[in-house]
A and B are shown apart, each in its own frame.
Chain A
Amino acid sequence: MSEGVSIVGGGHAVFGKRKESGLRDLAHEAVRDLFNTTNVSKSDIDATVIGVAGDGFNGQGSPAAVINTELGLHGLPTIRVESACATGTAGIISAYNMIKSGLRDAVLVVGAEKMTSISSGEATELMARAGDLRWEFPFGVSFPGYYALIASAHMAEYGTTREILSSIGVKNHYYASKNKLAHIRKEVSLEEAMGAIDIASPLNLYDCSLISDGAAAVLLTKDSIAKKFTDTPISIKGIGQGTDTMMMAQRESLTELKGAQRAAKEAYAMAGVTAADINLATVHDCFTIAELIAMEDLGFYKKGEAGQAVLDKQTYHDGKIPINVDGGLKAKGHPLGATGVSQAVEIRKQLLGEVESERQVDGAVRGLSHNVGQSGQFVNVLIYERSDL
């Protein structure tokens, strides 16, 4: 078998409403952070993979070319990837494939999105277009709406409550308040979260992820050269992918994402581990209900049992399975194309013991990232491990 692939460095722009920064500036900020914190220089890079989910947010067509040029890497091979909100991990998987095949030795993955140049209503319409344009978009279903449909079914089937969903929001806001890269660094109380204005009921404001600007970057290399860049490469041990129907109405089940279950199964099998071996996870909490069903789809909890675990605070950094202790999409922010790469950067730092002490998971050696495009039309699950221990 050919040699493995590792992450040797990560970089991250500050997420938020970044009025003064465009798409290219955010990407540059993330890669600058990577160069400043890792023993990597431009000449080490063989190719780039650039993930941007939407073209309509800032009007720039062909965003990969713009970013590649801004990074001063024009001339090198690049490709753009797009898998809706799972774009970032699609980029990591593409880079992994390039290296694993022997085509390249070191590939830079950049995920970026500039979402706040248009109004929230316009952004909501743009994202709604990622629902089936022919048969479901004509009814005015927003993205929060699709997940609200799932929430209503999960509530009816498993007795999931308002308090459970809000508790996830409270946790994620708490951890974002400790994360200097997060979009909103303000804690919210359970009372505030439970009483917030409805966006797409049963989901309210504090169930929804943020519309954010941001970028993140990782450098992947083949294992045999990884040590040239760092003493502590993070190995990509497992990759799994799954999908589901475009139309929500055609889903076999409305209380889970079948694509996530499949992706998790594949990733665990490839890594030779089970859910019990995972020390922390970053899951795609575009809405609180999405974090709840991820806990079940990934096998951390049986169906219907994740809610009680949330109330018992088992997903805090010192709990049974820490989840989104960076603030998640909910409060760290969700610049679509950047999110999956941001998850990798966060897990790498956690495994190296480099995050803020109030949210550091002690002794973590293996982390899982769960990145969902749309409402399950794309799901990528990756398992990362410290390989120096």
Chain B
Amino acid sequence: MSAKFGYVSEESYPAIAKKFAMNIAKKKFIGNKCTTCDKKYFPPRTACEDFHETMEDYPVNNVGELKAWTIIHFAPENMADRAPYAVGIAELEPGIRVLAQIPSLMQKPKIGMKLELQAQQVDAVRFTYKWVVIKD
């Protein structure tokens, strides 16, 4: 099976992005961690930014807190038919922040609100994740 990441994309698909998207298809959010210095990456990197080479999988917890938001009304041409859409950055754990759309959002987002990262299938080969507001 082959998989692509996101709603739209341009980059030809390197192994690391394919694997990431395939994990999302299985509802798994897996970044990686450097076995030498413990630095964590989500999404994953091929090698550590400090040039250590051995990495291991690092599944992230999927509940986060909203740090920043926008609602895109005037979209890039290739996303125009989806506008308006909300995008948020939320923190899953210290140092791991994730940017994704918040598709179900009806009113203005509130900084600090709790969100859950969920898998979303865009089409036959495309997978991404989205933020879903957790009601409390």
Contact among B17, B68, B84, B87 for A134, CB-based, below 8 A: B17
Query: Quick check: B73 and A140 within 8 Å, CB to CB?
Result: no
Interface residues of A in 120-161 (CB under 8 A from B): 120-122, 124-125, 128-129, 133-142, 144-145, 148-153, 156
With A119-B77, A139-B100, A249-B89 as known contacts, state yes or no: A153 contacts B111, CB within 8 Å.
yes
Q: How far is the CA of A145 from the CA of B17 in the complex (A)?
A: 24
Set B9, B67, B71, B83: member contacting A138, Cβ < 8 A: B9
Whose C-beta in chain B lies nearest to the C-beta of A135?
B43
In this complex, the member of A122, A144, A145 whose beta carbon has the largest number of chain B beta carbons within 10 angstroms is A145
Residues of A close to B15: CB separation below 8 A:
none
Is B32 engaged at the interface, CB distance under 8 Å to the other chain? no
Chain A residues with CB under 8 Å of B7's CB are: 138-140
Chain A residues near B6: list those with CB within 8 A. Answer: 137-139
Residue of A nearest to B5 (CB): A138
Smallest Cβ distance from B61 to chain A, in angstroms?
16
Looking at B73, B76, B85, B112, the one whose CB has the most chain A CB atoms below 10 A away is: B76
Contact flag A140-B101 (CB < 8 Å), given A121-B77, A145-B70, A197-B73: yes
- A134-B11 contact in complex given A139-B100, A150-B68, C-beta closer than 8 Å: yes
- Is the Cβ of B77 less than 8 Å from the Cβ of A140? no
Q: Cβ of B111: which chain A residues have Cβ within 8 Å of it?
A: 152-153, 156
By beta carbon, the residue of chain A nearest B108 is A201
CB A183 to nearest CB in B, in angstroms, measures 18
Q: State whether B72 touches A152 (Cβ < 8 A).
A: no
A248 at the interface (CB under 8 A from B): yes
Contacts A121-B77, A139-B87; is A145 near B9 (CB within 8 Å)?
Answer: no
Which chain A residue lies CB-closest to B112? A156
Looking at chain B, what size class is its interface with the partner chain? Answer: 35 or more
Taking the complex as formed, is A54 at the interface, i.e. its CB lies under 8 A from any CB of chain B? no
Quick check: is B79 within 8 A (CB to CB) of the other chain?
yes
Q: Mark A106-130, 1 if CB is under 8 A from B, else 0.
A: 0000000000000111101100110
Number of interface residues of A (CB under 8 A): 39
Cβ-based interface call for B10 (8 A)? yes
B132 located at the interface, meaning its Cβ lies under 8 Å from any Cβ of chain A in the complex: no
Q: Is A62 an interface residue (CB 8 A)?
A: no
The answer to whether B82 and A140 have CB atoms under 8 Å apart is yes
Is A364 in the interface zone, CB < 8 Å from B?
no
Which B residues from 43 to 88 make CB contacts under 8 A with A? Answer: 43, 67-80, 82-85, 87
B-side interface residues toward A, CB under 8 Å? 5-11, 17, 43, 67-80, 82-85, 87, 89, 97-101, 108-109, 111-112, 128
16 example contacts (A-B, Cβ-Cβ < 8 A) are as follows A120-B74, A124-B77, A138-B6, A138-B128, A140-B75, A141-B70, A145-B70, A152-B69, A152-B111, A153-B68, A198-B73, A199-B73, A201-B108, A248-B89, A254-B67, A254-B89
Q: Which 8 A-B pairs have the closest CB atoms?
A: A138-B6, A148-B70, A140-B79, A125-B76, A156-B111, A149-B68, A121-B77, A125-B77
